[in-house]
């Protein structure tokens, strides 16, 4: 049986699957449910010192569904951080750790850009027994008037400064949660690490408008007839999240990464681990499928590892990174190979107007037959 445990940043996870900060970690009861079902860790919903300033609205979610099947492929939220007082969270953090001492409990914290605020919040959560911290620099729609969330995370200098404040207040794990609503995500990630963060969480949700109700002629979700752009998640964002995680792993070598974005199955999580992630977070899928989904994820991970002969997560973590290169290098590699793959067009003048779908299919990697690798993937990964 493969060993799927993960040791990172002084924390021991029974498996790499972590509930991401949001509604699935909104209080002691649901956090306990997550641990009961077998999640390796839980990141609680983001807390602050002044919960009375947090005012949520309803409805605050919108779904994008497949035209063919009705399956939810995209999910937008305009939810804010926790509206529960920090005093209640301190009490519940203690109770959770008393009941689940082996479950990794991480406090997600967010505050205004004042040193005393971040330090006090860190110290109070640490005194309540949490195992680590995630700094929310990335909520895309909430509290910008207080310069919080992504308004802070889009400024690398501020990210570095705040990480320094938190690091001076704790020796526990500190993960900086990155916003994808930025040109180069590795820039603030590098700033966070310079400031004292020990790890990076990526990505948070993507600023979006899910759609417009064609009967009411108003954007959704609609609150009293109005809306705002919100955070987009679910399986539709996974390719973007994988690309950004790859960039962080490439540009910040050695960084400890917790991957987030569209993870719904164990094989989705495996892709993030292959990109260099140590742990993988799930939020939206848990809201749609329930906490019990982790059992299937564990099963798929173990099946993948057994298939390839991997004994530990480290045997394959980051293995896919070596296969990213430049387009120029791709051209050179095909040239050296002396012949294109059978049936694939490489020049624009080979396309014709009658068969565009056929040409598209032939040029799609996961539809066309691919060349066999020179050695099994499992052997290459173990030798990385």
Q: Token pair for residue 38?
A: 């077998």
Q: How many Å apart are CA 103 and CA 44, to the nearest integer?
A: 12
Q: Is 290 left (phi over 0), alpha (psi -120 to 50) or beta?
A: left
Separation between Cα atoms, residue 359 and residue 350, nearest integer Å: 9
The tally of CA atoms less than 13 A away on the side-chain side of residue 212 is 3
Q: Confirm whether 283 is a catalytic residue.
A: no
Residue carrying structure tokens 């330090």: 119
Look up residue 128 and give its DSSP letter.
T
Beta-ladder partners of 208:
230
- The tokens for 140 are 């895309």
Inter-axis angle of helices 156-169 and 186-195, to 10 degrees?
A: 30
Helix then strand count (H, E) for the chain reads 13, 16
Rounded to the nearest 10 degrees, what angle do helices 115-127 and 156-169 cross at? 40
Could you say which of 125, 139, 163, 277 is catalytic? 139
Q: Is the preceding peptide bond at 119 cis, omega within 30 degrees of 0?
A: no
Strands of the sheet containing 206-208, edge to edge, are 61-65, 72-77, 230-233, 206-208
| β-strand pairing of 17-19 with 279-282 | parallel
Please give the positions annotated as active site: 139
């Amino acid at each position: 049986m493969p060993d799927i445990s993960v040791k990172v940043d002084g924390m021991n996870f029974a498996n790499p699957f972590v509930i991401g900060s949001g509604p699935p970690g909104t209080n002691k009861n649901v956090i306990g449910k997550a641990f009961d079902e077998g999640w390796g860790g839980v990141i609680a919903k983001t807390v602050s010192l002044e919960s009375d300033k947090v005012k949520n609205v309803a409805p605050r979610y919108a779904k994008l569904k497949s035209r063919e099947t009705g399956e939810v492929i995209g999910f937008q939220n305009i939810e804010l951080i926790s509206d529960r007082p920090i005093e209640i969270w301190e009490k519940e953090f203690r109770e959770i750790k008393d009941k689940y001492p082996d479950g990794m409990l991480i406090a997600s914290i967010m505050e205004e850009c004042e040193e005393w605020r971040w330090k006090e919040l860190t110290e109070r959560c640490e005194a309540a027994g949490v195992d680590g911290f995630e700094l929310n620099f990335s909520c895309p729609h909430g509290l910008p008037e207080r310069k919080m969330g992504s308004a802070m995370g889009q400024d690398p200098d501020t990210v570095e400064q705040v990480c320094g404040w938190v690091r001076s207040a704790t020796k526990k794990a500190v993960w900086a949660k990155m916003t994808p609503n930025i040109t180069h995500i590795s820039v603030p990630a590098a700033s966070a690490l310079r400031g004292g963060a020990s790890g990076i969480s990526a990505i948070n949700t993507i600023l979006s408008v899910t759609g417009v109700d064609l009967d009411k002629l108003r954007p959704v979700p609609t609150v009293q007839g109005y809306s705002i752009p919100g955070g987009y998640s679910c399986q539709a964002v996974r390719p973007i999240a994988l690309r950004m995680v790859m960039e962080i792993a490439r540009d910040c070598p050695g960084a400890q990464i917790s991957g987030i974005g569209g993870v719904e199955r164990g094989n989705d999580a495996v892709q993030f681990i292959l990109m260099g992630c140590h742990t993988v977070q799930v939020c939206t899928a848990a809201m749609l499928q329930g906490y019990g989904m982790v059992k299937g994820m564990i099963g798929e991970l173990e099946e993948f590892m057994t298939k390839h002969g991997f004994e530990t997560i480290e045997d394959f973590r980051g293995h896919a990174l070596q296969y990213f290169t430049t387009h120029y290098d791709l051209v050179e590699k095909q040239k050296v190979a002396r012949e294109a793959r059978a049936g694939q067009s490489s020049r624009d003048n080979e396309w014709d107007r009658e068969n565009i779908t056929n040409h598209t299919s032939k040029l799609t990697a996961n539809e066309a037959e691919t060349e066999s690798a020179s050695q099994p993937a499992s052997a290459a990964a173990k030798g990385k």
